[in-house]
Chains A and B, each alone.
Chain A
Amino acid sequence: MNWITSTLGSSIGKKLLMAITGFSFCGFLAAHLAGNLTIYGGKDAFNGYAEHLHALGPLLTVAELVLLSFFLVHVITGLILYLQNLKARPVRYAVNKTAGGRTFGSATMPYTGALLLAFIVFHLLNFSFVDKTNTTIFNIVSSAFSSPVYVVIYILAMVVAAVHVSHGFWSTFQTVGANHPKYMPLIQTVGIAFAVVVGIGFGFLPIYIFLLA
């Protein structure tokens, strides 16, 4: 096991952990978004999607556990990286200027990450860890989004997620070593497009439900 910890424990190893877990969240986001889009099909379609999901039973539990462990790895590694990187420059510059390498997304990764962490807890408390015995998921969602405060929180969270993804997506490819002058521009474009889709795709749902209600 020593070779695994020493490989993954190095700066590049930690980067790989961030990349792989992060990229699987991109996959999760895509699936989650696809599911959520059923809401445009109406109440029954949406509830049906939820039922189908829960019918998976143990499979769903396994998926959730994997997601949870990836989540923990991503958060803990991210935190370690953040602290180490802070320590690597004990005296800060008086004047900070970018040479054009950083993007808004890359510069804010730890902060958007922290916001997302808070949001995910909030989101799970809203929709996941609630008593669903006498109601449907559609009702829970529509009652939540009847409040403008919720709508605003969710929209902001989705903007944050999009910003986070805008750096995370292409960054995964760079980290695993898939950077080729021929393909990198395409990967970067796809990354931005994906971030936009995530932002708009998720972000528009609360508005839609708010207007519907």
Chain B
Amino acid sequence: MTKTINLTLKVWRQNGPKNKGRFDTYHAENISTDMSFLEMLDVVNDQLTIDGKEPIAFDHDCREGICGQCGCVVNGRPHGAEKGTTLCQLHMRHFDNGDTIAIEPFRAMAFNVIKDLAVDRSALDKIIQAGGYVSVNTGGAQDANAILVPQEVADLAMDAAQCIGCGACVASCPNASAMLFTSAKVSQLALLPQGKPEAAKRAINMVRTMDELGFGNCSNERECEAECPKEISITNIARLNREYFKAGFFS
């Protein structure tokens, strides 16, 4: 049933990448428990605007958990504490009246803060540019059914392909590593026959690029898997490791 709650927010405010940040405290009152977390922030921002203050900058777009643009760290948890949920799908019914909520941006050397809670995740695009594709030009593809893909393989590839590129894996990793993100794409394409011709080059180049961008090293902490809003498994990281060693030692 719908009810309303009052909350205290401690929000990270930072004017720009080079500025020092700080926590500011706001009160969010009469928040309907049917609201999403971002709708709650909308309400706070409306009030800030009316009060002549600057609203909190935060990234968001589709608000249905698929575009990957939203995401902040809520009480120490990227996208909040609900499992398999993006911030836009996190509803206020999971909070209690009187709660204090700390809201921080995703933090990593590779993710610069643009403003407040909005960060620059273009590093993830750069990892994809290093090989997260099958090199086929438009046109000239063979008939779609000429490639047989066993259902289990297609399912595994789809499990990995679900990644929304939100960066929660990096944000949650104690080492700020992008291994889950990288491994999801490498896995998807390594599993499918279409991706095999370039598998070795892809694994090496994507890992190298990931390292160069200043992400940390994976140390099998499994936080990424636990936080991933699409619940992507670290078996993909194991597959990336295999692909990488295969490529490094035998190709």
Contacts and interface: CB of A to CB of B under 8 A. Distances in A.
A125 interface: no
Contact of B216 (A12, A85, A167): A85
A97 B237 CA distance: 23
A88 B214 contact: yes
Given A7-B249, A180-B235, A102 B176 contact: no
Contact of B104 (A12, A95, A98): A95
Interface of B is mostly: mixed
B104 A177 contact: no
A52 interface: no
B244 A12 contact: yes
Given A7-B249, A11-B207, A95-B75, A174 B176 contact: no
Closest 3 CB pairs of A and B: A97-B76, A88-B216, A177-B242
Interface string A74-89: 0000000100110111
B120 to A, nearest CB: 14
A129 interface: no
B241 A175 contact: yes
A118 B221 CA distance: 24
B208 A102 contact: no
Interface string A4-22: 0011101111111000000
Given A7-B249, A88-B215, A99-B223, A94 B102 contact: yes
Interface of B: 12, 21, 23, 73, 75-77, 81, 102, 104, 107-110, 172, 174-177, 179, 207-208, 210-211, 214-227, 234-235, 237-242, 244-245, 248-249
Interface in A172-187: 174-181, 184
Interface residues of A, number: 45
Nearest to B223: A101
20 contacts: A11-B207, A12-B244, A85-B174, A85-B177, A87-B109, A88-B109, A88-B176, A88-B217, A89-B108, A89-B216, A95-B104, A97-B77, A99-B223, A101-B222, A101-B223, A101-B226, A102-B222, A106-B222, A170-B220, A180-B235
Interface of A: 3, 6-8, 10-16, 81, 84-85, 87-102, 106-107, 109, 167, 170-171, 174-181, 184
Contacts of B215: 11, 88
Contacts of A6: 208, 248
A93 B74 CA distance: 11
